[in-house]
Structure 1
């Protein structure tokens, strides 16, 4: 059985997962990420209280932040559960994966929500995060013995809420990531997408070289 984090990392870079497993990585969540995650439980206050965003660790202007939350509130039918969830920080153990979901939204159907500390893409969610969301939905489905056909990604540093459907394509990506985790018994090939390497804590061990902007420009 695999952790949500393992399948997410496998979808991002199998070699990074290998180093994490080898080093028995127990990385602590950075304080900045913890504080941003807490914002996901303060949406109503951030929307309505004057000055509430002044000291909050948000990455957009207060006007944009409130506009983003307003769009989310108008679009979804489970806003009340999102801002005041019945269950938070729930450990789930599914048939194949386990981990913590930050919220379970008891709406028309129970829906897992994961809170991410980073920036959202222009549309949808990042592919590794999609894999983690599917893992959470599958685990919730297994525990509740019912179908869970959607999941929610929150980016509280931006006031952005994205819902995804657990469709065939996303499920296939999740299963592929599971197979990758199960198959790792040595260092996988280096990723061809070196843009992933710049911020990776294992880049020195991995032996990849990342080029500076000046070298790319011929400087």
Structure 2
């Protein structure tokens, strides 16, 4: 049985606080890029403040507050914000809570995220990027992931577990890289040529690895430095 060890003695929820009464803490490790900060500002303009800041009474200035979580939203706000005020936290507990709130929000699965963004784009079009923390290039790459048939690359493909390459089946290394559409056409042509000359694994991810290894071996065989 887990013992209940609450550090907070009191929580005041959705308290309206003037910006002039708020102070960022000096320890926040969470940094944002320029685009992420712009997206926060866009989000506040589009949706207003939908999440409260987390603050505590300032330990040194009576009647004012120190931010535990939400500093970047505070930076883009004007006049006032709504905050949950936590009473009874020591300095160490406030610092730990900052880490907890930063590090327990999870990470999006890239494939599921790409499919979600592609679905939203059908309705929003060019407005999709508003309030999202991506550059146009990053957003385009994410949306394009939704067009890939990931079943071809599934490592759970039971028909593709008979790879007899140099690395064996269990010691395979996963390598991810990006190429332009034009360069991909060249690679696909080579893939088809090699496929016609020698059998490739049924798992397409492994087959691509076999193709790249073949290209590398052929290059090294003719290289003057080999």
Place the TM-score, normalised by the shorter chain, in its bin: under 0.3
TM-score by length of 1: 0.26
What is the TM-score with the length of structure 2 in the denominator? 0.26
Which one has a bigger Cα radius of gyration?
2
